[in-house]
Structures are given as C-alpha cells and as structure tokens.
C-alpha cells in the first residue's frame, strides 16, 4: 500500500507537469497582447512597451517556459503580471477561503445526497424515489449563479436570514462566518445534489440486484440490513469517484457562485488570471487545483480499495 | 476657464480649517441648498439627475451636486468608518499606467492632484492658483505651502516636475501636451508649464479628471505602485491592500486639508455590479462607487439610499472603418446612423438617463457644446436610399463586432434590429474584452487592422481632447475608424488653442459638423454616471471617474 | 442440420426478437413516466422544428420599446432587457438548446466511455498514460478552455474545418471536451469493478478478443452508470452552455438559447426581476426531466 501511494504521488507530479505545460501552451497560443490586455486599451504605448520589458514578454517561448519551470521547482512563484504583487500572497488567501466554502458545501451535500440516493434506491419506483430523482435533475440543470442569485435575493435581501454577500469582515467568529458562507455553500450543494444522489441510487440498485445481495435476502436478512451490510459498500465506489472529481471543481470551477456572493475564492483568481492572461498566477492556481484533484482521486481510490477486497488485492501488488 | 475664480473652494477649505457646525446646522444647511437633486433622484423624480449643469461657468466637469452639501458639513467630529463597494482594480495601482475606474478610486484616496474636485468645476488642490499667458502656451501653477508627504518630507515643485517627467517618459504626456523639459520649477512653490502648442484646458489635464496626473514624490520611480510605496499627500493613508478583496484607508493626521471627520474607509472590491446592489440592500456596505440603472431599480426606490446621478461624457462608439471595407463611402456610414432610434435606445438601456448623441464626441454637458448642428433622427427610407446610391441597392451585409461589457451586448442587439429596417443585414459577434481589443478594435498602435464595424467603450473625460486626439485625429492611437480628415485635424488644433468660451464653442461647432456629416463613428448616447451612498452619511463626493471622496464625509 | 432447419431457426430468432421488441414497446407505452416524458420532450422538439412559425411574437425583435416588463396580458412571460417577448424566445430557444446540449452530452459520454473502458480494461501502462492526461484536462479551468477554443476558432484553419465555421458546433466540442474526462473516470471505475468478475475471466479463458469482451461482455453490465451520465450530462450541458455565456464565450447573440437568456438576466434576478431567468430555467428543468423520464422507462423495461 505505501508503495502504491508513493507511486501515485510520483505520477501526480507527471500530471502536474503536463498540466502546467498545457496551460503554458494555451496562453502562448492565444493571439492576445498580454501587456495591452492587462494595462487596458487606453494605456499609452510607452507604458505597454515598458511592461513587456519588465516581465520579459518579448523573450523566446523556450526562455519563458524555462523561467516558468524554474519558478515552480524553486517555489519562488515570482510576481503577478496584473497586480505586480507576489503571486504567493495572491493565492493563499483565496485558497484558504475556497477550502472553507468547498468544505462547507461538501459537508452539506455529501450526507444529504448519499442519504437521498439510498432512500430512492430502497424505495425504488415509488413517488419518493421519483421525487428525489426529479428534484435532483431539475436543480442540477440550473446554473450555480442562478441558484446562488435566487438564494441571495430570497434569504439574504428579502427574508434577511443570512448575509446576501459573503464578504466576511475581519475578526468574525467561526459561527459568525457561517452566516456569510451558508447561502453560497448551499447553492453549490444544490448543484451537486442531483448528480451524487443519482450515482448513489443507481449504484445501490445495481448491488441490490446482484447475486450476493439476493443470497443475503434469501438468508433472511431484512431490506435495511441488506442495504447496510452489502449494498452500501459496493455502491459507494462510483459515488466516491464522482465526489472526488467534483471537489477540485468546487475549488476552481464555481465562478458563478463566487461572483454572485462576491466571495474572493480561487475561482475568481483563476477567472481574473485567465482574463488578464496573468501566467504566473494562472500557473500556480491551476497547479493547486490539479493537486487537489490528484489528492482527492487518490484518496477516493484508497477508500474504494478498502471497501472492495478485490481492488485492495490489486493495490497490494 | 475661470482659473482664478476659486472662491467657493477657498470657502470650502476655510470651513475645513475653522468650521465647526453642530449637526442640526448641517442638516439645515443641506436642505437650504437650491438643488439637492440627489435627494430628488432618490425620490424617483423622472428627470432627477443630480446634474451639475454648469451655471454660466465654462466648466466641463461632471460633478455631483452633493458637493454643495458637502461644503456645509465639514465637521471634524463623529468618527466612524465608511464601507465602500467598488469595482476591482483591473491592474497594478500604478498611478501613471492605470486605466480603470477601480484603480482611479484607490489612487485618489492617497494622492492629490494640482487641481481637485470642486463644486461643479475643478478646484485648488496641491496648486492654489494657476494662470496662463495670453495664448495659453505658458501656465504658472502656484503650489500650496506646508503640504507634507505621508512619510514626512515636504511637498515641493520638484515633486511636480518629477511626476510630469515620468508622465512624459511612460505615459501619454498629458495627452501629448508636454514633452521632456516642458515643466520647470522656478522656485520650490512655483511650477511653470511651457507648451509647444497652446492648450487652454491644461488645468483639467492636471486635475482629478485626468487620474494619471496624480502628484507622486520625487523618488516614486516609474512603475511603482501605491501599495508598494504608500506615500501620498492625500487625506487618507493606505493601511492594507489586497487586490482580490479590498483596501483599508486610515486618516492622514497631517493632511493639509485638516482633520477628516471619518476615521477611515473600508473599500470592498466586487466583480459584479448586481452583487454590489445586493450588498447595499443587505446592509453590508454603505456606498457604491458606480452601479447601473437597469438592475439598480431597487436602490432608486430605497428611501435610505442617496443616489448620485450626474451627466457624463461616457459613451459608446460604433466605429466604421473609413479606409477599407464596405463603409468607406460616407453615404453608407450616414445610412447606418440614420437607422438608429436613439431615444428608444436610451429609454431601453438607461431608462432615459442619458444625453442623445449626434455622432460626434462633443457631449452636450460640455459648456462649449454647440447646438447648431441638427440632431440626426431615425429615417430608414433615407437610409435605404443612401445605401442604394452608394452601390448597395439590395442592402448591405456585415458583421457588427462588440465588446462584452455592461450594456454593450444589448446595444448591439438593438442596433442589429433597427438597422435591419434600414437595409443592413448585420450579424453579431460579441467578444470578451480579452480578445476583442486586440483583434477587432486595434491590432497595433497607432490603430491599425480594425474590423470594418464595431462597438467600443469610452469613459468619461472632463474635456473631449482625448477622444479627438486618440480616436479621430489622423493616425490616432485608438482611431479604429481609420479616419483621416485634414479639416477635422485643423478644427481640433483650433479647439485646443481657443482660450475663450466663444472661440472654443465655434471650434467645436466645426468639429461637430464634420463628424456628424462624415460619421466616422455613430455615437448614440452619452450616459449618466450613477453612484450613491446610504443616508447615514453626508458629504460624500463623487467624480464620474470612480473617484469617491470622503474627506468631507460625516457619519450621523 | 439441414439448410431448411437452419433457416427456420433464424426465422424463429427474428420473430422472437420482433416479438420482444413489440412487447417492450407495449410495456413502454404503459409506463406513465414514458408518456409524460415523451409529451414534454415531444413538445420541445416540436417547438424546435416549428421554431418562429408558432411563436406568438417575433422572438428577435422588441415588442416593448421600454425594455423589460413583467408578465402581463400581451407578454405572458414578460419581456427581456431590450423588450423582446420572453414567451416567444423560450419557445424558439428550444431549437438552439436541442441542437447543442444533447449532441454535446452524447459526444462527451461516447468519447469518455471509450476512454474509460480502455483504461479500466487494459489497466497498466495504457491506464497510466491516459489517466495522467485526463487528470490534467480535468484540472483545466473551464474559462481557459472556452476562451482558447473560441479565440482559436477565428484563426485556426483546422478548427474552422472541424466546426464548418459554426459557433454552435464549436460550443458542442467545448462542452464535450469538458465532459470527456469526467465520464471517463466514472466509466473506468465501473469497468474496474467488473473486469475481474467471473464472466469476464471465463470470456478471457474462452479466448475472446479484448474488443469483444469490452463491447459484448462488460459494456452491457455498465450501461447503468453510462445512462445516468448521459441523462445528467444533458442537463449539465445546458448548464455549461449557460456558464460559457456567463463568461462571455457562449452561443452568439441574438440566439434565444435558454442558457444565454439566463446568464443575461441573472443580474436583474438579483435586482428582483425574476421573470427574465425563471422561465428559461423552468424550460431547462422540464426538458431535462422529460429526457430523464424516458431514459428511466427504457432502462427499466430492458432491465426486465
């Protein structure tokens, strides 16, 4: 097992390198004038030229690529092109905030969706099952920024139960922060509810129909017992994969929710970095998202292995 | 330009130094003002724009009437902090290279200008007096005595000279007015500007209305940012700055204007205007630097919110490439201009809160605007006729490019619909600014490689110099129309040299006539700048360039 | 076995298959879910085909010069920012939505399943290499991919040829590209769970080819997660197109696409003007639910 984990971590480094290279190629391919883009269309030509000089934008691409690799290897992330501030300082705050929000969203959505999926499977083809599936589908097809804006208007502005924007003042207590974070986290949770619940439902139904659960039922176990002892274990695997893939997305792909609630998280950093083609910031932010993906998928694979003896055997080899 | 008539502002400063009113007096003073139009606007008055129509003065500034009440309420008591919702600065806080309202707002808190925001005009800032010679080629600025930099040093003419040299080196040299060595310092409190060509609007170019002209210390090397070296002369000191979340400012105890009433300002950055509105409604902020009319309805209806609405020269340019493509014939350009129902566009996009444009950049709010050129109105029959004359009897098919910004996508859709009736078959290509400016607008500078038809945004300016010089003069940096007219170039020179209002208006009439006839760009409207604040605060002032001033603000 | 006998056996098989098909169809028609889903999807398909012929107002021009107005007698769903009738635009929008979302979801799920099956079945080096690539693509920000592809579509001849110059096809590619790695991972996990089961092992012992085992043995057993992916992805595809529009890289204006309408009206939703977003959002929800009801019914009939 430890050897397996080490191997996976080493492979993750390869993926990260691949990722960084893809991003670099993408940004380099874009026929955009980075300096002009950052300084604005009305900036004088002289300052645009000075800007290009300052950040070596006119160097050959190999030189720029080398510089980039060096900055990643030495952990000296350099200066942001768009704000002229150290990249590190621009990343850690948003990363911390994104973790808080993503964590809360997962905390809300995981138990509810898994529970709903199980219930739907257990009471398959009843009104309850249909209701859960339909609600899940409907909510999953409405963009996060719409769900977010609706929640903000209803529970923030009209009812005033929670804060309508998530700009948390300094020195707010953990419980007080919940007041600001609940609505955006709920908006994110709602979007993923349908997907996770459906995966759980179909996984559970499949394992309920498989031979071993049939045997268990024949042995005289009740429905709930079968569900707990046998089905749950086996149906969790695809669900865990789905959740693990979504975690990275919760960090870097929820621009809509972050914009609506004005929450300065990693998604907005990435959005701005893409818009400015601010490569130093974009690289680090994307690498972090990539790292999160890799860690969560590794974790999911380990848990799946632990749940499924056959897969465990394979990992041991 | 009433360069010496600064009484109102001197009065303001006097208040600052000595004035100690009780709160009741402030309220009385504010209500006694003839035009508390901000209040009217908040009450839903249809034409309640808090317009600072320059009353007989030849000013060109878009200043909130709120200024007036501010004058009465300069009381250095009360304390408190104001929470401000602002757009995120788009780039580094480099006073010379910055180009967006978010950055302008930050810079104006810490740095002062030679001429500052006044009551419907510019007012003495770091300069207390400015005088031109007879033909406006030499300008003498008398500097304020006893001004200190926040880090301790004395402010002198050497700082001004150094700033101007930097503006020449890496900036646009005040719109091309000055070159190296043009600005000299005869003594520590006097600065002399010697211009190559006469320019009667120079004071505006060194005022808050030209945000890049903020005065920075001698040692403030080009490319330095405010957050890297927070050392201004302004009313506020930068305490902390995070480009993604916001900035905190605290009172500058040694400010030349005296002790501010508020203890500080807490600026929060927003990526999105509608989130600012929700934040305001939810009570998370006290002021909004700028918001839009469509989507801001809730604030207009809020009795506790003070809307500051002011006429501005902010406009959109529907440019047509005059040197290549299908729009080289001016009849084609006139035809497109004739298709637009401008009143309806303004009604739809701004609920009427905009001035109608007449395809030239002399905005009606400029005191030297001439109304002699008849307003172009919709005439689709004439449009079709002109198209036929120009060789397009079956109509013209083209791509209308536009940048995805504020109301521009909707404007593009309206133009497409309205132009269809006048014989134009337009396809829309709305692009994000990341690619638009570099591919459709200007590929290189001076502008070249522009698309044949497109919509681009222009922000407010105190005078139209920048629009004229950059967007329409031959070889201009942003001349996406690829327009070149010796007549217009001459008229622009005449405009710049004219010192008297009458002469200036005459020059503008020439500019208006040429632009209206040749239509290098359709300019459908100049829309109002809208900001505002909670009524808990008084004396908040705002320029149409995203600069909100709290030096006279009082919480109460 | 004589030729005659062989022929009759074949005939017998064909008849049985036909009967089974008829039986399935009979069962399907009895399912209320199938009927409801069919009616809903049929309605939207009808709207997409008839397009502007059935809209009460022209969806591409304004009916109200004042701009937005709430639902009323003339404009049942109100009007949008520039005064166009939302009811007409929602009906006409079905065409854009149906031409983009289902193809994008189908393409993404097909390519993703292919990758997922290959990875899960072969494991080893193949899995290793594709997994890295997929992880890398998964971590790419949506906006970067969208922006790059849409920008390159103006300059790259290859992309122009692949999309036939249509922005719509380009958006399909972008959405499919974003879905592929996610689907691949899910399918891979499902295949891994199957590949060591007895039936696969015995097929391998029988000497069946990998392609045969993958397509004939494993695939029928992993259709459940794939169908879930497909139905959920159609919804997410509409969602993603909306997000692309929100980020400024979606379908071209003045398309009545529901996603574009939603991203356009979102700021007014925050200001309290609910109708600009609600009706297109409801349209999306009904379409997704309809597709899903049909898929569910088909699945339950064939699982019988």
End-to-end CA distance of chain A: 8
Checking if the pLDDT of C40 tops 70, the result is yes
> In this complex, do A146 and C152 lie within 8 Å of one another by their Cβ atoms?
no
Dist. CA A281–CA A292, nearest whole Å:
17
User: Chains with 3 or more CB pairs closer than 8 angstroms to B?
Assistant: A, C
Q: What percent of chain C has pLDDT over 70?
A: 94
Mean pLDDT of A48-59: 86
End-to-end CA distance of chain B: 37
> In this complex, do B434 and C147 lie within 8 Å of one another by their Cβ atoms?
yes
> In this complex, do C128 and A11 lie within 8 Å of one another by their Cβ atoms?
yes
* Residue pair A229/A274 in contact by the 8 Å Cβ criterion: no
Residue B239, pLDDT score = 95
Residue C10, pLDDT score = 58
Q: Which residue has the higher pLDDT, C301 or B21?
A: C301
Non-local (6+) Cβ contacts of B36 within 8 A are B30, B65, B68, B69
The minimal CB distance from A274 to the residues C138, C143, C186 is found for C143
Dist. CA B307–CA B367, nearest whole Å:
24
- Give the length of chain A: 317
Q: Is A43 on the interface with B (CB under 8 A)?
A: yes
CA nearest neighbour of A20 among B459, C136, B232: C136
Non-local (6+) Cβ contacts of C129 within 8 A are none
CA nearest neighbour of B319 among B403, B433, B422: B403
The minimal CB distance from B270 to the residues A40, A160, A262 is found for A262
Q: What residue ranges of chain B have pLDDT lower than 50?
A: 1-76
DSSP-derived pairing of the beta strands B81-87 and B264-270: parallel
> In this complex, do A297 and C300 lie within 8 Å of one another by their Cβ atoms?
no
Q: What is the ipTM of this complex?
A: 0.82
Dist. CA B519–CA B321, nearest whole Å:
10
> In this complex, do A93 and B244 lie within 8 Å of one another by their Cβ atoms?
yes
Tell me: the pLDDT tens digits for A12-40?
A: 888 899 999 988 988 887 767 788 777 77
Q: Which residue has the higher pLDDT, C140 or A263?
A: A263
- Residues of chain C contacting B430 with CB distance shorter than 8 Å: 248, 252-253
- Residues of chain A contacting C263 with CB distance shorter than 8 Å: 143, 145
Q: How far is B219 from chain C (nearest CA, A)?
A: 40
Residue A315, pLDDT score = 55
Q: How far is A30 from chain B (nearest CA, A)?
A: 9
Q: Which residue has the higher pLDDT, A5 or C95?
A: C95
> Which residue, among B86, B97, B98, would best test binding to A if mutated, counting the most A CBs under 10 Å from its CB?
B97
> In this complex, do A138 and C132 lie within 8 Å of one another by their Cβ atoms?
no
> In this complex, do A275 and B433 lie within 8 Å of one another by their Cβ atoms?
yes
- Residues of chain C contacting B419 with CB distance shorter than 8 Å: none
Q: How far is B412 from chain C (nearest CA, A)?
A: 9
Residue B33, pLDDT score = 28
DSSP-derived pairing of the beta strands B396-403 and B424-431: parallel
> Which residue, among A161, A164, A270, A279, would best test binding to B if mutated, counting the most B CBs under 10 Å from its CB?
A164
> In this complex, do C225 and A237 lie within 8 Å of one another by their Cβ atoms?
no
- Residues of chain C contacting A248 with CB distance shorter than 8 Å: 138-139
B41 vs B46, B47, B353, CA distance in Å?
7, 8, 11
Q: How far is B435 from chain A (nearest CA, A)?
A: 6
Q: How many CB pairs under 8 A join A and C?
A: 173
Dist. CA C142–CA C248, nearest whole Å:
12
> In this complex, do B435 and C270 lie within 8 Å of one another by their Cβ atoms?
no
Interface subset of C 143-202, CB within 8 angstroms of B: 147, 150-151, 154
Residue C35, pLDDT score = 93
Residue C293, pLDDT score = 83
Residue B175, pLDDT score = 75
- Residues of chain C contacting B435 with CB distance shorter than 8 Å: 147, 150-151
> In this complex, do A143 and C292 lie within 8 Å of one another by their Cβ atoms?
no
Q: How far is B380 from chain A (nearest CA, A)?
A: 34
The minimal CB distance from B243 to the residues A42, A83, A258 is found for A83
Interface of B with C (CB under 8 A): 272-275, 277-278, 294-298, 344, 347-349, 351, 404, 409-410, 412-414, 416-417, 427-432, 434-435, 439
> Which residue, among A27, A44, A260, would best test binding to B if mutated, counting the most B CBs under 10 Å from its CB?
A44
Residue bearing tokens 């699945």: C299
A99 vs A261, B543, C237, CA distance in Å?
16, 39, 26
Structure tokens at B533: 């604040």
> Which residue, among B168, B244, B266, would best test binding to A if mutated, counting the most A CBs under 10 Å from its CB?
B244
Q: How many CB pairs under 8 A join A and B?
A: 139
End-to-end CA distance of chain C: 33
Q: How far is A62 from chain C (nearest CA, A)?
A: 21
Which residue on chain C is closest to B417 by alpha carbon? C61
Structure tokens at B337: 């201009």
Q: Is C56 on the interface with B (CB under 8 A)?
A: no
Task: Please report which helix (H) or strand (E) contains residue B436, including its range.
Answer: helix B433-436
- Residues of chain B contacting A33 with CB distance shorter than 8 Å: 438
β-bridge partners, B470: none
The minimal CB distance from B278 to the residues A45, A157, A269 is found for A157
Neighbouring C-beta atoms of residue A132, cutoff 10 Å: 24
Q: How many CB pairs under 8 A join B and C?
A: 74
Dist. CA B170–CA B172, nearest whole Å:
7
Q: Is A158 on the interface with B (CB under 8 A)?
A: no
Query: How many Cα neighbours within 13 Å face the side chain of A6?
Result: 4
Torsional sign, CA B277, B282, B285, B287: positive
Q: Note the helical H segments in chain A.
A: 2-29, 34-39, 45-54, 61-73, 87-122, 127-140, 144-151, 174-209, 211-218, 223-226, 232-252, 255-260, 266-276, 279-307, 309-316
> In this complex, do B428 and C154 lie within 8 Å of one another by their Cβ atoms?
no
Residue bearing tokens 């924007």: A165
Which residue on chain A is closest to C183 by alpha carbon? A242
Q: Is B190 exposed, middle or buried (0-12, 13-18, 19+ CB in 10 A)?
A: middle
Neighbouring C-beta atoms of residue A222, cutoff 10 Å: 10
Non-local (6+) Cβ contacts of A228 within 8 A are none
User: Chains with 3 or more CB pairs closer than 8 angstroms to C?
Assistant: A, B
Residue A229, pLDDT score = 65
Interface subset of C 273-302, CB within 8 angstroms of A: 277, 281, 284-285, 287-289, 292, 296, 300
If you write DSSP's letter for every residue of C41-93 in order, what string do you get?
A: HHHHHHHHHHGGGS-SS-TTSBS-TT--B-S-SSSTT-B-TT-BBHHHHHHHH
The minimal CB distance from C61 to the residues B417, B428, B431 is found for B417
Which residue on chain B is closest to A89 by alpha carbon? B242
> In this complex, do B348 and C264 lie within 8 Å of one another by their Cβ atoms?
no
Dist. CA A33–CA A38, nearest whole Å:
9
Q: Is A141 on the interface with C (CB under 8 A)?
A: yes
Checking if the pLDDT of C205 tops 70, the result is yes
> Which residue, among C62, C64, C67, C261, would best test binding to B if mutated, counting the most B CBs under 10 Å from its CB?
C67
Residue A133, pLDDT score = 86
* Residue pair C78/C69 in contact by the 8 Å Cβ criterion: yes
């Amino acid at each position: 097992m430890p050897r397996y984990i080490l191997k996976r971590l080493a492979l993750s480094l390869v993926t990260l390198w691949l990722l960084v290279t893809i991003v670099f190629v993408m940004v380099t391919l874009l026929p955009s004038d980075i300096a002009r883009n950052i300084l604005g269309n009305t900036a004088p030509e002289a300052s645009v030229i000075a800007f290009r000089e300052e950040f070596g934008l006119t160097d050959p691409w190999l030189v720029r690529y080398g510089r980039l690799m060096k900055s990643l290897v030495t952990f000296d992330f350099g200066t942001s092109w768009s704000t002229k501030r150290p990249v590190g300082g621009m990343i850690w705050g948003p990363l911390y905030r994104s973790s808080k929000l993503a964590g809360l969203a997962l905390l809300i959505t995981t138990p509810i969706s898994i529970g709903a999926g199980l219930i739907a499977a257990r009471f398959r083809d009843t009104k309850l099952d249909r209701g859960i599936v339909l609600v899940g589908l409907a909510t999953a097809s409405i963009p996060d920024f719409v769900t977010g804006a609706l929640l903000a208007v209803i529970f923030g502005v009209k009812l005033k139960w929670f804060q309508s924007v998530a700009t948390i003042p300094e020195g707010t207590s953990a419980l007080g922060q919940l007041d600001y974070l609940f609505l955006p986290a709920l908006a994110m949770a709602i979007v993923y509810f349908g997907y996770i619940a459906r995966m759980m439902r179909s996984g559970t139904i499949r394992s309920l129909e498989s031979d071993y659960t049939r045997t268990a039922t024949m042995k005289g176990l009740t429905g709930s017992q079968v569900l707990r002892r046998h089905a749950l274990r086996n149906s969790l695997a695809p669900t865990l994969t789905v959740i693990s893939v979504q975690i990275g997305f919760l960090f870097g792909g929820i621009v809509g929710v972050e914009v609506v609630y004005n929450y300065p998280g990693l998604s907005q950093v990435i959005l701005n970095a893409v818009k400015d083609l601010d490569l130093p910031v974009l690289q680090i932010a994307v690498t972090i998202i990539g790292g999160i993906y890799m860690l969560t998928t590794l974790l999911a694979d380990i848990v799946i292995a632990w749940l499924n003896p056959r897969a465990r055997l394979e990992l041991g080899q | 330009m009433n360069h010496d008539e600064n009484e109102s502002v001197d009065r303001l400063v006097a208040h600052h130094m000595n004035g100690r009113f009780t709160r009741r007096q402030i309220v009385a003073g504010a209500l006694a003002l003839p035009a508390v139009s901000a209040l009217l606007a908040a009450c839903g008055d249809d034409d309640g724009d808090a317009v600072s129509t320059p009353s007989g003065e030849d000013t060109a500034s878009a200043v909130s009437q709120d200024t007036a009440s501010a004058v009465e309420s300069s009381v250095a008591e009360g304390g408190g902090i104001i929470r401000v919702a602002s757009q995120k600065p788009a780039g580094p806080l480099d006073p010379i290279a910055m180009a967006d309202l978010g950055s302008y707002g930050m810079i104006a808190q810490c740095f002062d200008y030679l001429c500052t925001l006044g009551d419907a005009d510019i007012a003495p800032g770091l300069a207390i007096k400015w005088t031109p010679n007879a033909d406006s080629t030499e300008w003498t600025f008398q500097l304020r005595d006893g001004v200190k930099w926040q880090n301790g040093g004395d402010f002198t003419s050497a700082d001004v000279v150094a700033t101007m040299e930097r503006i020449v080196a890496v900036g646009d040299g005040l719109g091309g007015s000055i070159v190296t060595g043009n600005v000299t310092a005869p003594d520590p409190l006097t600065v002399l500007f010697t211009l190559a060509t006469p320019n009667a609007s120079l004071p505006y170019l060194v005022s808050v209305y030209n945000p890049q002209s903020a005065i920075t210390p001698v040692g403030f090397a080009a490319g330095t940012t405010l957050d890297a070296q927070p050392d201004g002369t302004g009313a506020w000191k930068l305490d902390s700055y995070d480009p993604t979340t916001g900035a905190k400012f605290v009172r500058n105890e040694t400010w030349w204007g005296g002790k501010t009433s508020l203890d500080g300002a807490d600026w929060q950055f927003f990526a999105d205007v509608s989130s600012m509105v929700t934040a305001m409604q939810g009570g998370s902020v006290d002021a909004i630097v700028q918001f839009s009319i469509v989507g801001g309805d809730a604030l207009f209806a809020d009795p506790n919110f003070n809307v500051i609405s002011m006429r501005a020269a902010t406009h959109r340019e529907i440019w047509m490439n005059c040197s290549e493509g299908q729009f080289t014939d001016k009849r084609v350009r006139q035809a497109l201009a004739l298709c637009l129902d401008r009143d309806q566009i303004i009604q739809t996009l701004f609920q009427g809160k905009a001035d109608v444009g007449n395809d030239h950049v002399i905005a009606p709010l400029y005191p030297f605007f001439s109304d002699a050129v008849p307003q172009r109105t919709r005439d689709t029959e004439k449009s079709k006729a002109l198209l036929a004359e120009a060789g397009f009897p079956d109509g013209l098919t083209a791509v209308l490019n536009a940048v995805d910004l504020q109301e521009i996508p909707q404007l593009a859709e309206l133009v497409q619909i309205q132009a269809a009736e006048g014989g134009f078959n337009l396809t829309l290509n709305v692009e994000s600014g990341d690619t638009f400016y570099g591919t459709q607008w200007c590929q290189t500078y001076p502008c070249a490689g522009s698309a044949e038809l497109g919509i681009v945004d222009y922000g407010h300016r105190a005078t139209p110099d920048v629009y004229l010089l950059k967007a329409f003069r031959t070889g201009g940096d942003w001349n996406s129309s690829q327009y070149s007219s010796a007549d217009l170039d001459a008229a622009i020179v005449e405009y710049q040299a004219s010192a008297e209002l009458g002469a200036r208006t005459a020059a503008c009439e020439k500019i208006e006539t040429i632009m209206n006839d040749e239509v290098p760009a359709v300019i459908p409207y100049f829309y109002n700048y809208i900001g505002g604040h909670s009524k808990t605060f008084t004396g908040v002032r705002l320029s149409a360039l995203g600069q909100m001033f709290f030096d006279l603000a009082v919480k109460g | 076995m004589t030729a005659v006998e062989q022929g009759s056996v074949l005939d017998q098989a064909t008849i049985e298959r036909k009967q089974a098909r008829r039986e399935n169809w009979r069962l399907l028609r009895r399912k209320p879910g199938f009927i409801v889903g069919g009616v809903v999807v049929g309605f939207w398909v009808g709207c997409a085909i008839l397009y502007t012929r059935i809209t009460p107002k022209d969806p591409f021009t304004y009916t109200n010069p004042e701009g937005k107005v709430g639902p009323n007698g003339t404009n049942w769903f109100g009007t949008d920012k520039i005064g166009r009738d939302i009811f007409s635009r929602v009906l006409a929008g079905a065409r854009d939505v149906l031409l983009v979302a289902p193809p994008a979801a189908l393409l993404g799920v097909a390519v993703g399943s292919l990758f997922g099956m290959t990875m899960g079945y072969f494991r080893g080096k193949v899995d290793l290499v594709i997994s890295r690539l997929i992880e890398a693509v998964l971590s790419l920000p949506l906006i970067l991919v969208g922006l790059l592809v849409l920008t390159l579509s103006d300059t790259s001849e290859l992309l122009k040829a692949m999309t036939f110059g249509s922005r719509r096809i380009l958006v399909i590619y972008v959405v499919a590209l974003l879905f592929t790695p996610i689907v691949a991972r899910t399918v891979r996990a499902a295949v891994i769970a199957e590949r060591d089961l007895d039936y696969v092992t015995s097929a391998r012992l029988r000497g069946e080819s990998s392609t045969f085992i993958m397509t004939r043995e494993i695939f029928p057993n992993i259709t459940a997660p794939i169908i879930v992916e497909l139905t959920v992805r159609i919804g997410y595809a509409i969602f993603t197109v909306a997000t692309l529009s929100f980020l400024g890289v979606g379908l071209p204006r003045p398309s009545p696409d529901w996603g574009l309408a939603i991203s356009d009206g979102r700021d007014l939703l925050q200001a309290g003007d609910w109708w600009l977003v609600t009706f297109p959002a409801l349209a999306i929800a009904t379409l997704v639910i309809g597709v899903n009801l049909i898929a569910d019914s088909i699945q339950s009939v064939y699982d019988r």
